[in-house]
Structures are given as C-alpha cells and as structure tokens.
Amino acid sequence: MKKYMYIIKKNKYCLILALFIMSFYLGRGVCALAKNTGKNTNSTVIVIDPGHGGSDPGKISTSGVMEKDVNLSIAMALKQLFENRGFTVVMTRTTDCDLAPDNSKHPKTDDLTKRTALMSKSNVAVSISIHQNSFEDNSSCGPQVFYYEASDAGKELASSVLGALNTSLCVAKPRSIKPNKEYFILKKSTSPTVIVECGFLSNPAETLLLTDKNYQDDLAHAIYIGVTDYLAQSPSGHLQ
C-alpha cells in the first residue's frame, strides 16, 4: 500500500512539474509573439498630400494631362507602401476635391490652411506633398524636391528623398534639393515637410512616363525609400 502511495505522490509531483514547464514555455511563446507583433507594427504617422484637386487642376500638359490627377495616383501608391509596412497614413485628399469650404471667398488659402493643419498635428513624423513641375523649356525633366530653408529636418528629408529618386530612377542629370521660404505649405507646416516635384508636365516625353502606372509605382517606391531612410536616421526615433 505504501508503495502505491509513493507512486501516486511521485506521479503527482511529476504532473505538477510538467504543468510548470508547460506554462513556462507557453508564457515564453506568448511573450515572443507579443514582441514579434510589436516589431511588425508602427505608430509613425505620415501625412501624404496630393497637391491641387477639385476646381484647381494644377499644371496642365499640352496633351491635357492634369497635375491633380497624376498627384493623386502617385500619392495613393505611396499610401499603400507605407500602410503595408504598418505606418499610419493621413491623406489630405483621396478623391478629386479641394479642401476649401463651399462658397469660400479665399479658396486657395483655405485649402492650403486645412492641408497644413493636418501636417502640423503633434504626432506627425513627416509630411510629403506630391506635385508635378512645369517650365517654359520643354526639355526640362527629372524630379526636384523643395524644403523650407529654415528647417534642418526638412533639408535632411529632402536630401534623402531626392537621393532615392535620383538613384532609383537613374536620373541622368540629377538636380539638387531646393530651399524655399515662400511656399505656404513649407512655411506653415510644423512637421518636417517636403514638396516632391516628380517630373515635368511641360516635357511631352516625361508626361507619358508620369501617366504610366508602372512609372508612378517606381516614383512612389523611391519616395518611400527616401522617407524611411530619413526616419531610420532621425534622432527623434520615429521609425520603430
């Protein structure tokens, strides 16, 4: 009888030990899962601003291509890239519209004011305003990036984005980043902000590229690389 009691006690202790070991490893598994989930999520907020929209077409090519439409297509592709990585994306518009209220007496100013309000929220890491360029010389081509001249962070962001564009698109005659103190969005936004002029609608050959979905995706990917490279090196540690 004593022998059987000993076996029962021994089995009881073995069961307790087994349960303890199982709970230990299960606990480790849950923690590991939580850590992995944390690595795959990102609370960084990116504002993407497709320039113009609604009654404001922006630049118009000789073939009738409107800047507002190209801006939106590239911006939506960029949005998808950031969201795939887990970023929080705020779009100033996702349709063909402007942000000015109906019957506004100053529609352009009201539109830009609303855009910069979104860019200036305290949790915004960077703001990217997508535009297309135009110049009287229709041979002008290639991307160009503007930043507010008093913003060191804006300058670093502009350099990173334009560098990625020039490298990814194999730009033959790369441009330099351009400081600016006049553009409303650059002056008023409190987050590091750049205006990305993706190409020239005044150049017929480049207009064909800018309306090509594959090229738009290439532009979006290059901008995405430039922004994430900037965030990875940012002292504020926005990229998680």
Domain of 76, in residue numbers: 43-233
27 and 47, same domain (yes or no): no
Of 15-19, 59-63, 115-119, 144-148, the one with minimum mean pLDDT is: 15-19
Q: Could you tell me the CA-to-CA distances from 110 to 86, 107, 203 in Å, in that order?
A: 31, 5, 31
Q: What is the model's pLDDT at position 234?
A: 82
Higher-pLDDT residue of 151 and 35 is: 151
Residue 100, pLDDT above cutoff 60: yes
**For all residues of the chain together, what is the average pLDDT?**
86
Count of structural domains within the chain = 2
pTM reported for the whole predicted model: 0.82
Is 114 inside a domain boundary?
A: yes
- Beta strands of the chain (E only): which ranges? 45-50, 88-91, 124-133, 144-148, 178-180, 193-200
22 and 57, same domain (yes or no): no
pLDDT tens-digit readout, 56-99: 999 999 999 999 999 999 999 999 999 999 999 999 999 999 99
Question: Residue 192 in contact with residue 146, Cβ under 8 Å?
Answer: no
What is the bridge-based pairing of β-strands 124-133 and 144-148? unpaired
